[in-house]
Amino acid sequence: MNNIRINYFVIVIIALFSAAIIALNITWPDRQKAQINKILSRGELRISTIPSPLITMNDKKDPVGFDYELVKRFADYLGVKLVVNMRTNINQMFDDLENNKADFIAAGLLYNKERLDTTRSGPAYFSVSQQLIYRKGTLRPRSFDTLDGRLVVTAGSAHASLLRTLKETQYPELEWEESDNQTTSQLLEALSEGKITYVLADSISVAVQQRIHPNVAVGFEVTESRPLTWYLPDGEDNSLYAAMLDYFNQLSQEDVLARLEEKYFGHVGSFDYFDTISFITAIDSILPNYQPLFEKYADTFDWRLLAAMAWQESHWDPHATSPTGVRGLMMLTRPTASSMGVTDRLDPEESVRGGAQYLKHLLSRLPDSIPEDERIWFALAAYNMGFGHMLDARRLTEQQNADPDSWLDVKSRLPLLSQKKYYADLPYGYARGHEAYRYVENIRRYQLSLVGYLQAKESKNKILSKDKENDNNEEQERSSLSLTHDMAYQ
């Protein structure tokens, strides 16, 4: 993930600077602590944001994502409640900052010099590149000189700022449009539908959207990796900024940023166009046959995780059979099926019930020391290669002085289980750990595609339904007017 990575160098600098502040016991006059004191006395940390791959709303309308976890942890660090104001465009967020409706902005925004006249940037915590995006199947652009069509970016974004600089310095003929009612993700969706020709976007937005709209393609890299940052009010008060420095210093010491990166983006670094197309097609054509079963037996799981798991196992083929003898939608072995009370592995309902029950069983056997949000990946690895081999991967991780409770650390050791110098001293011996590694990562990618595709489809259906309702209302109004007109002349 060369273009989707945390800016570790910047974080180290932040940590050193923060440590220096603490070591020197530097304090500011009370009048320069107004920002942090106001937050503490209020008991609330207010942030403004817009939907992005780093922060969005889930099905329950709760905020989730990389940025959300960072700001939630920061609120906990301050000992206050977090209040998230979701806005529709970038300028609204900066208006909130200017009008004292937000303490800072956290929305996966690139560092933008144009914003520093009225704001200040917070610590850099992630890096992305900027890319020129086109629609697969059309002529691929190689530079801004070769563009032939509509280039659209989000108004108020660093992308728009960059285009202005490029027009002044290199491409005087460069033209583009700025949308104040569409996020970068929405622009990429419009591009995939052929409504616009080009979008300037950040690499993480592109990587996520390709899982949902696989015809979104990179024309060329516009910039190297650049930092994402939060934005604070400008002024002499450094108290909130100093608190952020100390907070990020703690995160770097505890390796929290690396774990969050793994949680949200560790599986999106590679992209297979044809595999994604095949999966998206099957969502419409095959999934409706089995979705009720996934929903019925998901229990505490997200049913879309079970669906992604079944696709990885059998491509939703209830009669699938492997050379090793595993069979059915969830590709159960005979012993596993028997232990779960499954008598017919080729029966779709029995297979889904058995697979879900077995996955739940594996989860229950995991050590309590594994973080709640990482347990499922350990269980999936055990589903693929056996619980004992998963324990061996944890042992090997610990032997190498890494954290056996961290999926980030353990997954990198999985491929080593097929190398004799490692498995020879482990209780369960040889395992195809590289397959388990791919197995878990593929399921995570399929779940991302499934969730995103279904949400986009639902949103589009709502728009179509609303448009149809408006058309019907207009038709009724025209009929009423026509009837009134006819009566007037009778």
Give the active site residues: 313
> 174: exposed, middle or buried (C-beta count within 10 Å: 0-12, 13-18, 19+)?
middle
For residue 460, the tally of other CB atoms under 10 A from its CB is: 12
Maximal CA-CA distance, the chain: 100
Interacting residues of 217 by C-beta distance below 8 A, sequence separation 6+: 133, 134, 135, 136, 140, 210
Q: CA-to-CA distance for 131 and 217, rounded, in angstroms?
A: 10
> 7: exposed, middle or buried (C-beta count within 10 Å: 0-12, 13-18, 19+)?
buried
8-state DSSP, 31: G
Sheet hosting strand 198-202, strand order edge to edge: 177-179, 151-154, 198-202, 130-135, 216-221
Q: CA-to-CA distance for 489 and 343, rounded, in angstroms?
A: 78
Contact assessment for residue 214 and residue 273, using Cβ atoms and an 8 Å cutoff = yes
Contact assessment for residue 361 and residue 393, using Cβ atoms and an 8 Å cutoff = no
Q: CA-to-CA distance for 419 and 432, rounded, in angstroms?
A: 9
Interacting residues of 43 by C-beta distance below 8 A, sequence separation 6+: 80, 81
- Nearest-5° Cα angle at 444, 440 to 448: 170
- Nearest-5° Cα angle at 410, 210 to 315: 45
Q: How many separate helices (H) and strands (E) can be counted in the chain?
A: 19, 13
Which structure tokens are listed for 364? Answer: 């229950």
Which structure tokens are listed for 143? Answer: 């530079």
Would you call 318 helix, strand, or coil by DSSP? Answer: coil
**Structure-token match 């007109």, residue found:** 485
Interacting residues of 98 by C-beta distance below 8 A, sequence separation 6+: 118, 233
Would you call 488 helix, strand, or coil by DSSP? Answer: helix
Which structure tokens are listed for 438? Answer: 């791919």
Q: Is the dihedral of CA 200, 201, 203, 209 positive or negative?
A: negative
